[in-house]
Amino acid sequence: MRRRKRLGMGSFVIERFIEEANQAKSTEDVSALFAKALKSFGYDRFCYSLITDHPSVGLRAGHGIAENYPDDWMAHYRANKYEKIDPVPRRGLMISKPFTWDWLENTRELKTEEKQVMNEAREARLFDGVAIPFIGHNGEVAGIGLASSVGKIKPDINLVSRLRMLASQFHAVFIELERKDSETESDAVVHLTSREQEILLWAAEGKSDSIIAEIIGISHATVRFHMNNIFKKLNANERTLATVKAIRHGLILPSYVG
């Protein structure tokens, strides 16, 4: 019963953040809303970076273009040019899925200077880190680092999935607010068929294409066909971004979250 209550509260926080972020008038507004939502999951620190240039919005690559990490840590990080050796964003260039800092340290052979960055981050009271990369069109890569100043969270796959949903909404809104020219897609009418909506809802629940095919009784190839159509219609290249955009267009209900 207690676990169900926590899950229900998580769903409420995510749904409320989606609605409030959609009304944000500035990147500062959506950053403040994001920080508030994260606290419900035990994370009080975030750092949003553009790992590569983003010509689509006229922004250059930069570490911490929106963040609430400790000021002294950010100054130390920049002064030592840690963005060139930090293994977290470097890994974000090679993987599209979220990962924990512990996983990175336990599965990769880190160099001495990389270990130093990770150790000094902990000394700055950045614990239980989670990295969420975003790979966009034309090779644009961004990422969000999340951390707790208290620790003892032990993020599991379900918590990371919820954090990814929050982060994806933040990223989508932030980029939209930064875009110099209004996107034509915002004015376009997007329509998903009932089958496409069904498939996207199951995908949002974390089901693989093969599992979705079994659940609704169609072939794996047919699932892929519909998923590709969804991506084209929503101008997305992966499931989480497609889900966020579908919610924003009112094409699916966010009640599945949690």
Residues 25-77 pLDDT 10s: 999 999 999 999 999 999 999 999 998 888 777 778 888 999 999 999 999 99
Residues 6+ apart with CB under 8 A from 147: 43, 45, 46, 47, 69, 121, 126, 127, 128, 129, 130
Pairing of strands 141-148, 127-135: antiparallel
Looking up tokens 């949690």, which residue turns up? 258
Q: Which region holds residue 206: left if phi is over 0, alpha if psi is between -120 and 50, else beta? A: left
Q: What is the CATH number of the domain that holds 252?
A: 1.10.10.10
Looking at residue 255, what is its pLDDT?
45
Pair (199, 170) in one structural domain:
no
Pair (197, 141) in one structural domain:
no
Give residue-wise pLDDT tens across range 80-117: 999 899 999 888 878 889 999 999 999 989 999 999 99
Pair (22, 58) in one structural domain:
yes
Please state the domain count of the chain.
2
User: Which amino acid does the sequence have at 196?
Assistant: E
Pair (6, 81) in one structural domain:
yes
Q: What is the mean pLDDT of residues 7-28?
A: 87
User: Which amino acid does the sequence have at 124?
Assistant: A
- The CA-to-CA distance between both ends of the chain, in Å, stands at 14
Taking the whole predicted model, whether its pTM rises above 0.75 is answered as no
User: Which amino acid does the sequence have at 27?
Assistant: T
Pair (146, 213) in one structural domain:
no
Q: Indicate the SS3 state at residue 114.
A: helix
Query: How does DSSP classify residue 52?
Result: S
Pair (74, 200) in one structural domain:
no
| Model confidence at 18: pLDDT above 60 | yes
Q: What is the CATH number of the domain that holds 101?
A: 3.30.450.80
Q: What is the mean pLDDT of the chain?
A: 86
Q: How many other CB atoms are found less than 10 A from the CB of residue 14?
A: 22
More confident residue, 209 or 131: 131
Q: Which residue range(s) make up the domain with 33?
A: 2-178
Last residue of a domain, one of 153, 178, 203: 178
Position 251 confidence tier, pLDDT thresholds 50, 70, 90: confident
Looking at residue 185, what is its pLDDT?
45
Looking at residue 258, what is its pLDDT?
35
Last residue of a domain, one of 129, 150, 178: 178
Pair (250, 157) in one structural domain:
no
Pair (121, 203) in one structural domain:
no
Give residue-wise pLDDT tens across range 154-196: 899 999 999 999 999 999 999 988 874 345 444 557 789 999 9
Pair (59, 171) in one structural domain:
yes
Position 237 confidence tier, pLDDT thresholds 50, 70, 90: confident
* Rounded Cα distance, 123 and 167, in Å: 25
Pair (192, 144) in one structural domain:
no
Give me the phi and psi of 138, to 5 degrees please.
Answer: 60, 30
Last residue of a domain, one of 178, 197, 219: 178
Give residue-wise pLDDT tens across range 111-157: 999 999 999 999 999 999 999 999 887 788 999 999 999 999 989 99
Pair (17, 139) in one structural domain:
yes
